[in-house]
A and B are shown apart, each in its own frame.
Chain A
Amino acid sequence: MTTFLTLMVMLPIAALLWEATSEGKTTFWEAVSSPAAVASLKLTLVASFVVALMNAVLGTVTAWVLVRDDFRGKTFVNAVIDLPFALPTIVAGLTLLALYGPTSPIGIDVAFTRTAIVLALMFVTLPFVVRTVQPVLQELDPELEEAARSLGASNTTTFRRVVFPNILPGILSGVALAFAKAVGEFGSLVIITGNIPYRTEVSSVYIFGRIESGDSTSAAAVAVVLLALSFVTLLSIGAIRHVATRHDRA
């Protein structure tokens, strides 16, 4: 089993690290700090950050509505949340283009802009925060909130002092997962962003372009940066979980 994992996961990653550094530190730095690479990395980070923040707010609201609110068709809405996990990303991109592209029936055309990037990333990361906050809210006793309210706390104060501290670890780990997914996203962005260098080219698309032009050393260098980002995000998710469970035990 360890052999399988080594062969499947670690060896390819080792080959990637090897290729990125095979021609020395200087070449690696030149590849990572070339203007197009830097522009793509900046765009990737900023877009992923914006999307993670929007997820924090809208995902929490959605989770709250799914747990504490009651309306017809809630079961359907609850099932639909997981659709971005199941839907191929290339289909997601095409789908968004149908509503927000040049042939939009509602007259909104954001195709090939940075707004389109945010939109596509919102689509593919939609379930993360909802699905990490929802179970925590379900476990949280509504009586706690009622007690706070009967003691004279306003809705806002109740949320801020009672609900929020409890769901914060859930929000944070959902946000981190969404961020990781957004940083690496490729399929949904290929169609909708048009991949204009310096404007709508994110790092994964930049890497793909470098591979296609036969420049695998530059591709590997930028890929190593994404790999490092994934690792850091995974580690912070682990740290958040650790702190959250320690809080429970205390």
Chain B
Amino acid sequence: MHRLWLRFVALGYLAAILVGPLAIVFWRTFEDGFQPAWDALTSPETIHALKLTLLITAIAVPINTVFGIVCALAIVRRRFPGKGLLNAFIDLPLALSPVVVGLALFLLYGREGWFGGWLEDHGIQVLFALPAMVIATIFVSLPFVAREVVPTLREIGDEQEQAAKTLGASGWQTFWRITLPSIRWAVVYGVILTTARCLGEYGAVAVVSGRIQGKTETATLRVQERYESFDLAGAYAISIVLALMAIAVLVATTVIRPKEANA
């Protein structure tokens, strides 16, 4: 009885908060068939928004992957001044409100900001344009790769790397042939999480993009805009696309996790 009751509480909780609402959105979107949802998705502004989201993700993910791996290697394998600071700052993007991130970048690159004046004199548009949106997205998804790679690096130890070095391998050779193969699943897992975060970013981008329709409007901003224009069907349709991407991410992580445990 005891066990059944707890199961009932846990499943009821998940159904009420998570599964129920999502099911309703799917149902509402396709209530009148596929056509209205399809029409909403293929409007030029929506296509532009989806493309922009993919473009930002395609720029931010590789940068964060390289940074994450380098950062993890530094945290686990090296000693250097400021390591404690690095450790403290690396998690900050996870705990910080995206609006605060957006505001900080706004103040740095805005017209009266530290860099804003110089950038404007040289004709470089950062704020309310692609560069600021990419920077904001990099900021909020910064720690994911490093956080996945750090524990794996700790676990595998550095004996094999030392052995490779004594046998005359260069730093690069050791990295490509010893270190990278043993952390590859952690890297893949981190990349998947980073991608999900980049695709779904809203708060920071909302502040720095200026939300110019057909120019700096990403998919998540488009959802908000459609909702505010009382176009629920449109908002739902884009939401479904984003939700399907999230579900794809979930499937990918579930497939990878057991492999990671075996590696």
A2 CB-CB contact with B under 8 Å = yes
Task: Pick the residue among A15, A86, A88, A219 that contacts B108 (CB under 8 A).
Answer: A15
Total of A-B residue pairs, C-beta within 8 Å? 227
B104 CB-CB contact with A under 8 Å = yes
Interface residues of B in 1-37 (CB under 8 A from A): 2-3, 6-7, 9-11, 13-14, 17-22, 24-25, 28
Task: Pick the residue among B24, B91, B235, B253 that contacts A99 (CB under 8 A).
Answer: B24
In contact, B86 and A94 (Cβ under 8 angstroms): no
Chain B residue at minimal CB-CB distance from A156? B2
Task: Pick the residue among A80, A86, A184, A234 that contacts B19 (CB under 8 A).
Answer: A80
A61 to B11, CA, bound (A): 10
In contact, B139 and A61 (Cβ under 8 angstroms): no
A119 to B20, CA, bound (A): 13
Hey, which chain B residues are within 8 Å of A79, CB to CB? 250-251, 254
Q: Which of B41-49, B162-170, B180-188, B193-201 contacts A (4 or more CB under 8 A)?
A: B193-201
In contact, A211 and B20 (Cβ under 8 angstroms): no
| Min C-beta distance of A107 to chain B, whole Å | 13
| Min C-beta distance of A32 to chain B, whole Å | 14
Q: A86-B196, A87-B200, A91-B200 are in contact. Are A234 and B92 (CB under 8 A)?
A: yes
Hey, which chain A residues are within 8 Å of B56, CB to CB? none
A159 to B22, CA, bound (A): 34
Hey, which chain A residues are within 8 Å of B107, CB to CB? 12, 15-16, 18-19, 216, 220
Hey, which chain A residues are within 8 Å of B106, CB to CB? 211, 216
A62 to B11, CA, bound (A): 8
Hey, which chain A residues are within 8 Å of B251, CB to CB? 79
A26 to B201, CA, bound (A): 35
A123 to B103, CA, bound (A): 25
Hey, which chain A residues are within 8 Å of B202, CB to CB? 88-90, 186-187, 190
A126 to B106, CA, bound (A): 31
Q: A69-B6, A71-B7, A94-B239 are in contact. Are A122 and B17 (CB under 8 A)?
A: yes
In contact, A58 and B223 (Cβ under 8 angstroms): no
B213 CB-CB contact with A under 8 Å = no
A42 to B220, CA, bound (A): 28
Main secondary structure on chain B at its contact with chain A? helix
In contact, A223 and B100 (Cβ under 8 angstroms): yes
| Min C-beta distance of A61 to chain B, whole Å | 5
Task: Pick the residue among B14, B74, B91, B196 that contacts A234 (CB under 8 A).
Answer: B91
B129 CB-CB contact with A under 8 Å = no
In contact, A219 and B25 (Cβ under 8 angstroms): no
Q: A12-B104, A15-B113, A64-B6 are in contact. Are A180 and B200 (CB under 8 A)?
A: no
A166 CB-CB contact with B under 8 Å = no
Task: Pick the residue among A2, A88, A231 that contacts B86 (CB under 8 A).
Answer: A2
A233 to B227, CA, bound (A): 34
Task: Pick the residue among B24, B82, B242, B247 that contacts A98 (CB under 8 A).
Answer: B24
Hey, which chain B residues are within 8 Å of A219, CB to CB? 103
A12 to B104, CA, bound (A): 5
A223 to B22, CA, bound (A): 32
Task: Pick the residue among A11, A12, A94, A96 that contacts B227 (CB under 8 A).
Answer: A94
Hey, which chain B residues are within 8 Å of A19, CB to CB? 107
| Min C-beta distance of B199 to chain A, whole Å | 7
Task: Pick the residue among B7, B96, B196, B254 that contacts A227 (CB under 8 A).
Answer: B96
Q: Mark A178-222, 1 if CB is under 8 A from B, else 0.
A: 001101111100110000000000011101100100001001100
B61 CB-CB contact with A under 8 Å = no
Chain A residue at minimal CB-CB distance from B246? A86
A94 to B26, CA, bound (A): 12
Hey, which chain B residues are within 8 Å of A34, CB to CB? none
Enumerate 13 A-B pairs (CB-CB under 8 Å) in ascending A order.
Answer: A5-B89, A12-B105, A18-B114, A19-B107, A62-B14, A65-B10, A69-B7, A77-B11, A86-B246, A90-B224, A99-B21, A211-B106, A234-B95
Please give me the 9 A-B residue pairs with the lowest Cβ-Cβ distance, nearest first. Answer: A184-B97, A88-B200, A12-B104, A86-B246, A187-B202, A186-B203, A65-B10, A230-B95, A16-B104
* 20 additional contacts (CB under 8 A) given A12-B108, A79-B254: A1-B71, A9-B89, A15-B107, A15-B114, A58-B10, A58-B13, A61-B10, A61-B13, A66-B10, A86-B246, A86-B247, A88-B199, A88-B200, A91-B223, A95-B239, A96-B21, A98-B28, A122-B17, A211-B207, A216-B103
